[in-house]
């Protein structure tokens, strides 16, 4: 109990109501026509920067600042919210898998030994996102794992891939499949029966999250496990090229397909005695499939046939649920998060977003842990997301509803921290629809206004920040920063996140006079926010937390 006690802040009082707002996918970039935040009418966010510059700054949200392997790695919501909530920088999944593969330790681990039991008589199935985006998975890691598994004795391997187009350029799927095919044919030359068995676009097949739409996972199950899909092809490269010919098609939403042999039979349904590895390191979009693969009791869709398999995740995706029970690489141990500390120090918390980002302000925020720390102190509210649409048709999403829930929670007096994620900039930014993203940014800005108005009413404090960039840059650029065109002269739309820093603003009537950003943490990043917020709640952060961004000067 005592280990959890935080020291009092010498200058900042306790008991203030704090709104902690994360604008998803809201970075700071040059103001041009492809910067949707700049184009959009965003008076609230603009006002922080212009009216109180000592309470506005930029912080790093990508690369090493959030535990990613390199400075070329864009930020993402998982690592961003982990850093925001945990107040420290942990080597993240991407990096942990890199080192486990490089050292070969992955092959000596419990998880690999477990799946190895299939190698004599069964097939090893690898399911995951085919991408070099480094957000959920990486192609180079898949290729190393394939090679390693073959060296370790896997004789029959089937790859079930999901095409990306969301963390990478749309259309890049073809090149990734070609690369994969080349490696598989190398393996075949060495006598390993290795081939692609199925595929589909990540947003339509398998990679749903937070139980938004189980149909997505079912489509994947049917193709990957049962070997059934509306499209059948002899080759995966042909499949992706053909399916992309539809003018409305894109990598994110390709329909499911299976690869069939000369007699038209699927080459890789999952059978008793096989092993399955889900090779994504990131949890949110693999957890649902992991449940379908692992749970004996499962009622989310009819699995039809439940093969007895050896299943392992690349990582363990949920530390609280211990899901999956077998995994190749141990996940980062993100413990002693700010949420857990604050609960132990009497801070009552309300967290809210809509389904597609709900786990970001709960699960990721709390170090990849499901559920509350203390149900009496915390309330987590999920607003159901619209299902079965791409968010460019509904760019306002549930921003208003989230803001109203936050406002009510603020005015209720029942909570000390009201934490929300506003998904618009990110979810609409990922569609690549510039006009819709402009509408999205405006909606997010209006939601911020509603929340800070409530904070005004109760004499509270607001902290407004973001988890990574997205909506502030919608085109791929060359080195000089000029928008890049593809071979046909078309603008290359950037659906992914960016390497940009994100803003953080503090304010509100409850903010003690003289509180401002320090100027001696110039490299501050998302991990510095937790200590900052602890200060605003009247506490000093634990010693091993990244330093606070604020100071209080007496005037
Ligand atoms: C996704 O999962 O939607 C993208 O790959 C990353 O977006 P997020 O990190 O903002 O969730
Ligand atoms: Co995103």
CATH code of the domain containing 199: 3.40.1450.10
Ordered per-residue pLDDT tens for the chain, 555 residues = 589 999 999 999 999 999 999 999 999 999 999 999 999 999 999 999 999 999 999 999 999 999 999 999 999 999 999 999 999 999 999 999 999 999 999 999 999 999 999 999 999 999 999 999 999 999 999 999 999 999 999 999 999 999 999 999 999 999 999 999 999 999 999 999 999 999 999 999 999 999 999 999 999 999 999 999 999 999 999 999 999 999 999 999 999 999 999 999 999 999 999 999 999 999 999 999 999 999 999 999 999 999 999 999 999 999 999 999 999 999 999 999 999 999 999 999 999 999 999 999 999 999 999 999 999 999 999 999 999 999 999 999 999 999 999 999 999 999 999 999 999 999 999 999 999 999 999 999 999 999 999 999 999 999 999 999 999 999 999 999 999 999 889 999 999 999 999 999 999 999 999 999 999 999 999 999 999 999 999 999 999 999 999 999 987
* Locus of tokens 């090149």: 175
Enclosing H/E stretch for 315: strand 310-315
SS3 259: strand
CATH code of the domain containing 546: 3.40.720.10
Same domain (yes/no): 60, 142: no
Please report the DSSP string for 170-194 in residue order: TTTHHHHHHHHHHHHHHHHHTT-EE
Domain end position, chosen among 303, 329, 355: 329
Q: How many residues does the chain have?
A: 555
Closest CA to 26 of 421, 524, 409: 421
Q: Give the number of other CB atoms < 10 A from CB of residue 74.
A: 23
Judge whether 118 lies within some domain. yes
Closest CA to 321 of 279, 365, 282, 283: 283
Same domain (yes/no): 297, 346: no
- Cβ of residue 208 lying under 6 Å from some atom of ligand 1: no
Rounded Cα gap, residues 229 and 239, in angstroms: 12
CA 169 to centroid of ligand 1, rounded, Å: 14
Provide the residue range defining the domain that includes 362. Answer: 18-91+334-552
Alpha-helical runs (H) found in 40-126: 43-51, 77-86, 93-103, 110-116
Same domain (yes/no): 131, 110: yes
- Cβ of residue 167 lying under 6 Å from some atom of ligand 1: yes
Judge whether 369 lies within some domain. yes
Same domain (yes/no): 338, 420: yes
CA 469 to centroid of ligand 2, rounded, Å: 8
Judge whether 6 lies within some domain. no
Same domain (yes/no): 351, 500: yes
Same domain (yes/no): 82, 136: no
Catalytic status, residue 103: no
Same domain (yes/no): 389, 244: no
Same domain (yes/no): 452, 521: yes
Judge whether 260 lies within some domain. yes
Judge whether 395 lies within some domain. yes
Nearest CA to ligand 1 atom 8: 77
Same domain (yes/no): 342, 305: no
Rounded Cα gap, residues 94 and 235, in angstroms: 29
Atom of ligand 1 nearest to the CA of 78: 9
Same domain (yes/no): 77, 119: no
Judge whether 163 lies within some domain. yes
Q: Both tokens of residue 246?
A: 């539809």
Same domain (yes/no): 209, 229: yes
Closest CA to 137 of 154, 114, 161, 158: 161
What lies within 8 Å, CB to CB, of 285 at 6+ separation is 129, 136, 202, 206, 207, 208, 209
Judge whether 1 lies within some domain. no
SS3 83: helix
- Cβ of residue 166 lying under 6 Å from some atom of ligand 1: yes
Same domain (yes/no): 62, 145: no
What lies within 8 Å, CB to CB, of 538 at 6+ separation is 8, 9, 12, 13, 14, 15, 16
What's the total number of domains in the chain? 2
Rounded Cα gap, residues 427 and 186, in angstroms: 38
Domain end position, chosen among 314, 329, 344: 329
Residue 136 marked as a ligand binder: yes
- Cβ of residue 496 lying under 6 Å from some atom of ligand 1: no
Burial 240-275 (b: 16+ CB within 10 A, else e): beebbeeeebbbbbbbbbbbbeeeeebbbbbbeebb
Judge whether 3 lies within some domain. no
Domain end position, chosen among 271, 303, 329: 329
């Amino acid at each position: 109990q005592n280990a959890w006690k935080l020291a009092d802040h010498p200058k900042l009082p306790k008991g203030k109501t704090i709104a902690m707002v994360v604008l998803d996918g809201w970075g700071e970039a040059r103001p041009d026509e492809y910067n949707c935040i700049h184009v959009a009418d965003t008076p609230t966010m603009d006002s922080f920067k212009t009216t109180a510059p000592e309470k506005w700054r930029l912080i790093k949200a990508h690369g090493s600042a959030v535990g990613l392997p390199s400075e070329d790695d864009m930020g993402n919501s998982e690592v961003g919210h982990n850093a925001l909530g945990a107040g420290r920088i942990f080597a993240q999944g991407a990096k942990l898998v890199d080192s486990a593969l490089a050292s070969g330790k992955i092959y000596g681990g419990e998880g690999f030994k477990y799946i190895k039991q299939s190698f004599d008589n069964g097939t090893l199935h690898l399911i995951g996102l085919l991408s070099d985006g480094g957000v959920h998975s990486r192609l180079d890691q898949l290729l190393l794992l394939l090679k390693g598994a073959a060296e370790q004795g896997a004789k029959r391997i089937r790859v079930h891939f999901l095409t990306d187009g969301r963390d990478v350029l749309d259309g890049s799927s073809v090149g990734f499949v070609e690369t994969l095919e080349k490696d598989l044919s190398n393996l075949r030359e060495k006598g390993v029966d290795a081939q692609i068995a199925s595929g589909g676009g990540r947003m339509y097949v398998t990679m749903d999250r937070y139980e938004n739409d189980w149909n997505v996972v079912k489509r994947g199950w049917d193709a990957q496990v049962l070997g059934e899909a509306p499209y059948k092809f002899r080759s995966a490269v042909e499949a992706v090229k053909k399916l992309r010919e539809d003018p409305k098609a894109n990598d994110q939403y390709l329909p499911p397909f299976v690869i069939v042999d000369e007699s038209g039979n699927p080459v890789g349904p999952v059978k008793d005695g096989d092993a399955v590895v889900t090779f994504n390191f990131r949890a949110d979009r693999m957890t649902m499939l992991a449940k379908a693969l692992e749970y004996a009791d499962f009622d989310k869709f009819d699995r039809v046939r439940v093969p007895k398999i050896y299943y392992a995740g690349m990582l363990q995706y949920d530390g609280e649920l211990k899901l999956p029970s077998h995994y190749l690489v141990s996940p980062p141990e993100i413990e002693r998060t700010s949420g857990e500390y604050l609960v132990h120090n009497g801070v009552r918390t309300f967290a809210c977003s809509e389904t597609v980002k709900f786990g970001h302000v709960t699960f990721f925020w709390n170090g990849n842990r499901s559920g509350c720390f203390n149900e009496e102190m915390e309330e987590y509210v999920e607003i159901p997301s619209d299902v079965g649409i791409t968010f460019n048709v509904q760019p306002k999403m549930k921003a208003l509803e989230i803001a109203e829930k936050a406002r009510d929670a603020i005015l209720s007096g029942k909570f000390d921290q009201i934490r929300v994620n506003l998904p618009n900039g990110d979810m609409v930014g990922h569609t690549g629809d510039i006009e819709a993203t402009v509408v999205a940014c405006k909606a997010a800005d209006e939601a911020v206004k509603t929340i800070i108005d409530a904070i005004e009413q109760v004499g509270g404090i607001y902290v407004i920040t973001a988890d990574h960039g997205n909506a502030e840059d919608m085109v791929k650029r060359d080195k000089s920063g000029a928008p890049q065109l593809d071979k046909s002269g078309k603008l290359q739309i950037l659906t992914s996140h960016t390497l940009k820093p994100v803003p953080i603003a503090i304010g509100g009537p409850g903010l003690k006079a003289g509180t401002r950003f320090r100027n001696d943490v110039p490299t501050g990043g998302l991990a510095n926010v937790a200590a900052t917020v602890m200060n605003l709640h009247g506490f000093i952060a634990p010693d091993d937390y990244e330093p606070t961004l604020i100071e209080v000067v007496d005037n």
